[in-house]
A and B are shown apart, each in its own frame.
Chain A
Amino acid sequence: MKTRNKNIYRALLLISFLGVNAALLFGIGAVWVYMNSGADKTSILHIASETEDTYLPDTEWRNLENPGRPMESQTLQDIERDYIRSWYVRSIAFDQLDPYGLKDYYTDSLYRKLTEIIKLNKDQDTRISLSTLNHHLSLEFYSLDGKLVVFTDTGMEWFQEIRKGEQKLASGPLISSYRVMMLLEDGFWRVRHMEEIPNPSNGAVPERITGPASIGQIKGLNYYPARSPWDTFGDDFDPKTLAGDFEKVSAMGLNTLRVFIPYEDFGAATVKPEKLQKLVRLMDLADEAGLKVLVTLFDFYGNYDLADWTRTHRHAETLVGALKEHPALLGWDIKNEPDLDFKSRGRAEVMAWLEEMVRQVKKWDKVHPLTIGWSSPAAADNLHERLDFVSYHFYEDPDMFVSYHEKLQEKIGDKQVVISEIGFSSYSGIWNFFTGSEESQVDYYQKMVISLQGENLPFLSWTLYDFDQVPAEVVGRLPWRKAPQRHFGLIDNNGREKPAFGALVSSSQK
């Protein structure tokens, strides 16, 4: 008995010794790994990293003729860069109430004047956020020794927001024109004088606010490939799959696809060419299948901050520029369900961003209609006067649809409306107490289609396929949210057409 106890003690002792050793080794290993990860070894070299410009207003030089001396393109780039940055540091200084950085972009006398205003604002606790959106520069004078330059910045569009403490007092767009003198001092072009001059008078082009007839004919669906939902343009991008799917959609009697462009994934301010190439390929394939594409921009974007505006403008400019001539392009959906960001980002902030983005996109593409994919009929009257057609999503009870829609139509008049997402999940499981089924899905579709056709409304279904995986960014991590989201498709994971598929097809053939 004693020896057995002794053996047990020995064994325990031995095991605990081994355990302590293992823990020690593991601990040392963890420290070792920690010490050897993280900072890149090249960081020892302090190689100057090329910082990405975060302030990218649209800038152009309209005139370089001047009586002083011919302008060199290198100098012009320097002047442009320092002038744009002078606005950037100024916007930060007025926002943070700290003149940090102004000295590099303004001469001493102007620096003093700016700090006086900043001090005044600091005493009053007034903060100004501003972002210039474009600069149309004309050179007026460049001195013979290449150290002084005068140019005008006419019709500069900018946006400002005035806050006092936490309270927002005002915000809005402005158009101003300036005459600017800059001096070359120790390698920086610094602003010496900044004078406001009258804005050029130009006949404002009346904006087109009615949607083209083809909008009324829309019948289609929101599209993601079955294998790569929310990642159409990722590594799994396969033209064959797309071609097959588009063929299927076309055979269903549908004519439109709605696709989503993730903002960060596409490279944010500098759109990645390989992503753009994939998008153009998708549009080509859609065209071959006789489908039109409603391109939804800024998916997964949620910043809206004034400081980020110009970056988003450059993103949209590249995409719009690349696609606006494409025969398959139906129109632009600026953002999917931006009203869901009202709470977290502030309604005014989101609306200001949207309004400006609408204006910018209209500037680059005067032909294709614009909309915003609001999440519900209640939000769909926002900005309706600025949009070419109104679009919203409807996932509620089909019986309620007509009353909701009529309420909206009262507010927006006879503006064309597209229901850009309708759908019903056939999910049946513990998260919805086994209440869903493919039957209830087909029931939903039949009712919806009748209501929509009764109102003569074009619509886009959500979506073609059931998905195996739903990324957390879409509906969060909660399983009772994710599970239904996987079963909105008209075709299930095994490629079988669900009953709702037939319902939609028969409706479109009527």
Chain B
Amino acid sequence: MRKLAFTVLCILALACSDPAVPVSTYSLQIMEVPDRANAGEQISLDFKGMGKGRPILFLRNSLGQSVLEGRDEGERLRFTLPGPYSKKSGPCHWSLVLADSVLRSGVIEIQPLAIDERIETYLGPRNVIAGPVDHTMLVTVPSDKFGNPMPDGTVLELQKQISEQYDSKEIQSGGMLAWDRIYAEEKASRAFLSVSAAGSTSKELTYDIHPALPEDFEIEYARFHPYADGNQVITFSTSTLKDTYGNIVSDGTMVSFSVIDADGKVLRTQGTTLNGVAEARMLHPDRGDTWTVTAHLAGVAGSQELEVEFLPVIRDFDLEWKADSRTVVVGPVDGFLDQFQPDGLRVTLTLFNEKGVNVMNRDAELSDGYAGFDLGNLSLSAGRYLTRVEIGGQSHEMLIELTDEDTE
């Protein structure tokens, strides 16, 4: 019994002992291991090993590490690089390992294939301003069909089309990419680019050349008559806004107009350009005036000063005091054609007492050539008053007398 237990113990002890293979007993011969290969082809490492144990292969490229088990091909132990390793260009480090020791190690330089049909390109910025300063940059990253970047010195053709002008240029890759600065032309338009190499091309790339900042411009005005009737509309317009290179500014560019009248008051209006011309409108004044008009694009460009004169619209008018209805009747008001002045013109009445003190102001609008002011129920004390009526910058005065009866 004791003997049996001892035997069992011995067997257990043997079974538990470290089965590590002494490496010195393993001899290895390299049969076929490439040190260069092309991406995507079948890459195999063949060894011939003698001895106990089975080595494994460590692989490492720039994207990862893996461990491979070999396959017996007759006498040979063959390792075939799996896709992720055989398709990736650059150094692929391998080491053949048995237990804790490295038997052999090396590097396979995997070469990228020919350039892929599609060339990867990046273009930006996509909007540039006409002229010699602003530019865009085309970056192209030529790679093979597995996405491996091409070696330095790969030649590419950069092609450009701007307003029917074709241009091409050779660029060379370096450090994974080839690039070029493309300067804007003087003419605003859309430019087209592409990159090509033997048998491969990029997609179409476009960028827009926008007009540069406009230069100073002229303004003019148009109106139907020169009279300050407070009724018609005067239209201001700019000349065609262009940059230094003659490009018409983009539609919708905002132009501000300011008007300074004879009293120094400022009026503003604005318009946006269409085909480079901006228009803005303004109502005629209701009395004779002289306007100084300027237009500007804030901080960019401006126009000359333009003088516009408005003539008084009223030739003359009559005043009449109708004592029975206690009404001041204004009219008929004749316009520049001796016509009844159109409705709506403002008529103002100012009333002074005997001491010359202004006691009342009233406004009315012209209707059918006449206007009236009823002074009956205004609680004015009886006495003599001076009335002054003004229309369109013209005024007439008249003395009236209110009796007690009138003022009740």
Contacts and interface: CB of A to CB of B under 8 A. Distances in A.
A160 interface: yes
B67 A179 contact: no
B84 interface: yes
Contacts of B83: 116
Nearest to A178: B62
A150 interface: yes
B58 A170 contact: yes
Interface string B139-179: 10100000101000000000000000000000000011101
A208 interface: no
A179 B63 contact: no
A126 B176 contact: no
Contacts of A130: 65
Contacts of A192: 141
A116 B63 CA distance: 10
A116 B84 contact: yes
A143 interface: yes
B137 A145 contact: yes
Interface in B42-100: 56, 58, 61-69, 82-85, 88-91, 97, 100
B383 interface: no
A113 B175 contact: no
B64 A169 contact: no
Nearest to B62: A196
Given A126-B66, A128-B64, A113 B88 contact: yes
Given A68-B179, A143-B124, A144-B137, A113 B84 contact: yes
B56 A169 contact: yes
B179 A147 contact: no
A136 interface: no
B175 A147 contact: no
Interface stretch (A117-125, A277-285, A288-296, A494-502): A117-125
Interface residues of B, number: 36
B57 to A, nearest CB: 11
Given A144-B125, A145-B136, 14 more contacts: A110-B147, A113-B63, A113-B147, A117-B85, A124-B68, A128-B65, A143-B139, A143-B179, A144-B135, A144-B137, A147-B124, A169-B97, A181-B176, A196-B62
A492 interface: no
Nearest to B149: A193
Contact of B65 (A94, A116, A145, A195): A94
A191 B296 CA distance: 49
Contacts of A179: 175-176
A145 B176 contact: no
Nearest to A67: B179
Interface of B: 56, 58, 61-69, 82-85, 88-91, 97, 100, 122, 124-125, 135-137, 139, 141, 147, 149, 175-177, 179, 181
B66 A120 contact: yes
Contacts of B91: 196
22 contacts: A94-B64, A113-B88, A117-B63, A117-B64, A120-B84, A124-B67, A140-B175, A143-B122, A143-B124, A143-B139, A144-B124, A147-B122, A150-B175, A150-B176, A150-B177, A162-B65, A162-B67, A169-B67, A179-B176, A181-B149, A193-B149, A196-B62
A36 B339 CA distance: 91
Contacts of B89: 195
A120 B141 contact: no
Contacts of B177: 141, 148, 150, 181
Interface in A110-160: 110, 113-114, 116-118, 120-121, 124, 126, 128, 130, 140-141, 143-145, 147-148, 150, 160
B123 to A, nearest CB: 8
Nearest to B97: A170
A130 B62 CA distance: 13
A347 interface: no
A37 interface: no
A194 interface: yes
Contact of A194 (B62, B125, B135): B62
B207 to A, nearest CB: 11
Contacts of A121: 64-67
A250 to B, nearest CB: 50
Interface in A165-188: 169-170, 176, 178-179, 181, 183
A195 B176 contact: yes
For B58, B62, B91, B97, the residue with the greatest tally of chain A CB atoms inside 10 Å of its CB is B62
A164 B64 CA distance: 15
Interface residues of A, number: 38
B139 to A, nearest CB: 5
A109 interface: yes
Given A143-B124, A143-B139, A178-B62, A164 B67 contact: yes
Contacts of A140: 175
A140 B64 CA distance: 24
Contact of A160 (B62, B65, B147): B65
**Can you list the 4 inter-chain pairs with the closest CB atoms, starting with the nearest?**
A145-B124, A144-B137, A117-B64, A196-B62
* Most chain A CB neighbours (cut-off 10 Å) among B56, B63, B181: B63
B179 A141 contact: yes
A346 to B, nearest CB: 15
A124 B69 contact: yes
A108 to B, nearest CB: 10
A191 to B, nearest CB: 10
Contacts of A118: 64
Nearest to A197: B90
B82 A196 contact: no
Contacts of A141: 175, 177, 179
A148 B139 contact: yes
B99 to A, nearest CB: 9
A109 B67 contact: no
Of A141, A160, A164, A195, chain B has the most CB atoms within 10 Å of the CB of A195
Contacts of A124: 66-69
Given A120-B82, A162-B67, A148 B122 contact: yes
B90 A196 contact: yes
A128 B66 CA distance: 8
Contacts of A117: 63-64, 66, 84-85
A145 B125 contact: yes
B59 to A, nearest CB: 9
Nearest to B87: A113
B214 to A, nearest CB: 26
Nearest to A146: B124
A170 B149 CA distance: 31
B181 A144 contact: yes
A193 B83 CA distance: 18
A179 B125 CA distance: 25
Contacts of B69: 124
Interface in A192-221: 192-196
A195 B149 contact: yes
A145 B125 CA distance: 5
A162 B58 contact: yes
